[in-house]
Amino acid sequence: MFIRRLTTRAFRNLAAATVEFHPSVNVILGANAQGKTSLAEAVYLLAALRSFRTSQLRELIRHGEAIAGVSAEADDGGVIQNFAVELERGPSVTRICRYQGHETPPARYAGKLRAVAFHPGDLGLVAGLPEARRRFLDRLIFSVSPAYLAEYQAFQHSLRQRNSFLRQGAPDMELLDVYDEQFVRLGAVVMERREKMIAELNEAVDRHYASVAGDGEKPGVRYEPGVSSGLAREGSAADWLRAALERGRPRDLERGFTGDGPHCDDLDLQLDQKPLRKFGSQGQRRTAVVALKVSELEIIARSPGPRPLLLLDDVASELDLRRNRALFEALSVHPAQVFLTTTELSHLPLGPATEFREFAMEQGAITQARDRRGTESP
Amino acid sequence: MADPIQQLTAALARLPGVGEKTAQRFVFFLLADRTGAAREIAHALARLADEMSLCRQCGFPSQGELCAYCSDPRRDGGLICVVQNPQDVLAIERTAEYRGRYHVLHGVINPLEGVGPDRLPIRELLARLDGVSEVILALNPTVEGDATALYLQRLISPAGVKVTRPATGVAVGMGIEYADKATLAQAINSRRGMG
């Protein structure tokens, strides 16, 4: 699947225009703040129904406009597919999705077009907050198993109900048992999904890390369940979670919130069994993120569904030449349509045989588009 | 006294699913109507307010002490179906499959909304269990509906009464391709052997 042409309107600072994309590699070139990332963001919105830059969709609607829109014609092995997403300003932003011209609820639209984005903000994934890692993990599971979204939301909802119940004075213990049982049932589903995905990531990262790092250190992706330490796991995730809730009940009642569970999970990236978050150098962490993102693309690409588009937003300038080459090499294994933004063409290690289309961007408009071959001399 | 147009508009806008604009449309429709619809509706509304109360046994709207279902001797008193809203009773009645009685909770336990078990007619339900062989918990498959069902099950089971819940799954006559992801996933996970 690749996007043939894309049209935006009232989308950030982008001039309303239709862009004809290259089926494989597209390079968006321009100085900072000219709209390169916005164009990549428009492509991403069409697939993911969100932005990789911000959680506030209203930022995507141009100032003074009520509705922003992105639409595209994609080619799936010769079959034309039409996608459109509109963002409508309101107390909260409404997303209106259209597939083949028909309005489609977001939950059904999701997954018809898939994309993986890699942007400089991701480089903080290893050492940043656990929330960001949980989000990364959960989104990856959603893309591979859409049914997970409802499971995850049900779990979050039961967590909110249990917390709200804990804060009431003199709670009915019989009812607390019920909330525990529900929390265990829904939480165990989330834990099992995450555990399985982390095993897949671990296997993929193991293969990709060495090619990016170029040395023999042994990477690992470990699941750190949000069950407070000192409680050994016995039996299923549900049994473990039940035991943790039972043990933590007096504390939970006192504090008014649930102290154990998947909402406290973390994903730990390790090198030679040491957590990179604490001991890694910046270079090692970046390498790990690159390996993680390549693994993400690989896992999504091999799951049933359309081949994901790949967006690399200004990542090349953040990585050294060796990591860049390794990244591009690893990505070239997956024949996805790629969108790269950069300030300097020389940052991109595109081999001499690589055909690509270069778009020059200035003040939100594409001033030139031309087909080229390779950025590196033979 | 406020202008009748404004008064009725504001009153109608309190109804679920009716906004200011829709309320206004109703009001001007009634003003222009020459068939006496306004008086007819006013009369029906007054009767609704004056004559209807809730069945003292099951909580379904009723003109007398007992509703039509509780006072019908042909219904099986050994079977109670617990529902969240009175509309759920009508939905189950449309199937013409169920011949037992009902118990309407008028809500579900929801700590986030401040609804605890004491706000629901649960004691009334427990007081009805004598001579009952089965309680069907036909509560919505939401987090709140599930929690309420689990809670009721814990209170009812010790009385030696069988507790069941309706199955969830793919809608009859609706292709699998049209089922939403969550329903289909649940239907597949709780699949049954054949033969």
Is residue A377 packed enough to be buried (19+ CB in 10 Å), middle (13-18) or exposed (0-12)?
exposed
Q: A52: which 2 tokens? A: 């990789």
What would the pLDDT profile of B117-145 be if each residue is shown by its tens digit?
Answer: 999 999 999 999 999 999 999 999 899 99
Integer Cα distance of A353 and A378 in angstroms: 9
B155 chain-A contacts, CB cut-off 8 A = 174
Q: B11: which 2 tokens? A: 């009153």
> β-strand B134-137 against A102-104: which pairing, if any?
unpaired
Give every CB contact of residue A52 below 8 A, 6+ residues apart in sequence. Answer: A41, A44, A117, A119, A121, A311, A313
Q: Give the range among A171-175, A207-211, A259-263, B71-75 with minimum mean pLDDT.
A: A207-211
Is residue B109 packed enough to be buried (19+ CB in 10 Å), middle (13-18) or exposed (0-12)?
buried
**Confidence (pLDDT) at A221:** 93
Cβ–Cβ contact A182 with B under 8 A: yes
Our CA-based measurement puts residue A158 at a distance from the nearest CA of chain B, in whole angstroms, of: 6
Instruction: Describe chain B by its helix, strand, coil percentages, rounded to 5.
Output: 45, 15, 45
User: Between the CA of residue A70 and those of A39, A81, A102, B82, B95, what are the distances in Å?
Assistant: 10, 14, 15, 48, 45
Cβ–Cβ contact B78 with A under 8 A: no
Q: Positive or negative, the Cα torsion across A156, B177, B145, A247? A: negative
**Total CB pairs under 8 A between chain A and B:** 51
Q: A248: which 2 tokens? A: 């933590």
Strand (E) positions, chain A? 2-9, 17-20, 25-29, 67-76, 79-88, 94-99, 102-104, 115-118, 219-224, 266-271, 274-275, 309-313, 338-342, 355-362, 365-373
Closest Cβ–Cβ partner in A147, A161, A168 for B147: A161
Q: Give the range among A139-143, A279-283, B37-41, B142-146 with minimum mean pLDDT.
A: A279-283
Of all residues in chain B, what percent carry a pLDDT higher than 90? Answer: 81
**Chain B (19-38) residues lying within 8 Å, Cβ to Cβ, of chain A:** none
* Interchain pair B155, A178: CB under 8 A: no
Residue of chain A whose alpha carbon sits nearest to that of B149: A178
**Confidence (pLDDT) at A234:** 75
Give every CB contact of residue A99 below 8 A, 6+ residues apart in sequence. Answer: A81, A82, A83, A108, A109, A112
**Confidence (pLDDT) at B195:** 64
**Confidence (pLDDT) at B6:** 94
**Confidence (pLDDT) at A317:** 81
Look up tokens 């968006």; give the residue.
Answer: A28
Integer Cα distance of A75 and A77 in angstroms: 6
**Confidence (pLDDT) at A290:** 86
Higher pLDDT, B169 or B115: B115
**Confidence (pLDDT) at B23:** 96
B143 chain-A contacts, CB cut-off 8 A = 154, 157-158, 161, 182, 186
What would the pLDDT profile of A146-187 be if each residue is shown by its tens digit?
Answer: 889 889 999 999 999 999 999 987 788 999 999 999 999 999
Cβ–Cβ contact A228 with B under 8 A: no
Our CA-based measurement puts residue B187 at a distance from the nearest CA of chain A, in whole angstroms, of: 12
Mutate to test the interface with A, among B115, B123, B143, B148 (most CBs of A within 10 A): B143
Cβ–Cβ contact B117 with A under 8 A: yes
Summary mean pLDDT of chain B: 91
Return the amino acid letter for A337: Q
Cβ–Cβ contact A257 with B under 8 A: no
**Confidence (pLDDT) at A376:** 65
| Residue ranges of domains in chain A, CATH in brackets | 1-114+305-378 (3.40.50.300), 124-301 (1.20.1050.90)
Residue of chain A whose alpha carbon sits nearest to that of B177: A108
| Residue ranges of domains in chain B, CATH in brackets | 4-51 (1.10.8.420), 75-164 (3.40.1360.10), 169-195 (no CATH)
Look up tokens 């069409």; give the residue.
Answer: A46
pLDDT band at B45 (very low <50, low <70, confident <90, very high): very high
What would the pLDDT profile of A201-249 be if each residue is shown by its tens digit?
Answer: 999 999 888 877 777 788 999 998 898 766 777 788 899 999 999 999 9
Tell me the three state secondary structure of residue B101: strand
Closest CA to A191 of A251, A130, A240, A257: A240
- Counting Cα atoms < 13 Å in the Cβ hemisphere of A92 gives 2
Instruction: Find the mean pLDDT for residues B17-35.
Output: 94
Tell me the three state secondary structure of residue B19: coil
Q: Are the beta carbons of A42 and A371 closer than 8 angstroms?
A: no
Instruction: Find the mean pLDDT for residues B55-62.
Output: 95
Of all residues in chain A, what percent carry a pLDDT higher than 70? Answer: 98
Residue of chain B whose alpha carbon sits nearest to that of A159: B143
Higher pLDDT, A203 or A286: A203
Instruction: Find the mean pLDDT for residues B45-51.
Output: 94
Residue of chain B whose alpha carbon sits nearest to that of A152: B182
What would the pLDDT profile of A94-145 be if each residue is shown by its tens digit?
Answer: 999 999 999 999 988 988 999 999 998 888 888 889 999 999 999 999 989 8
The DSSP symbol for A372 reads: E
Cβ–Cβ contact A161 with B under 8 A: yes
User: Predicted ipTM?
Assistant: 0.75
**Confidence (pLDDT) at A377:** 57
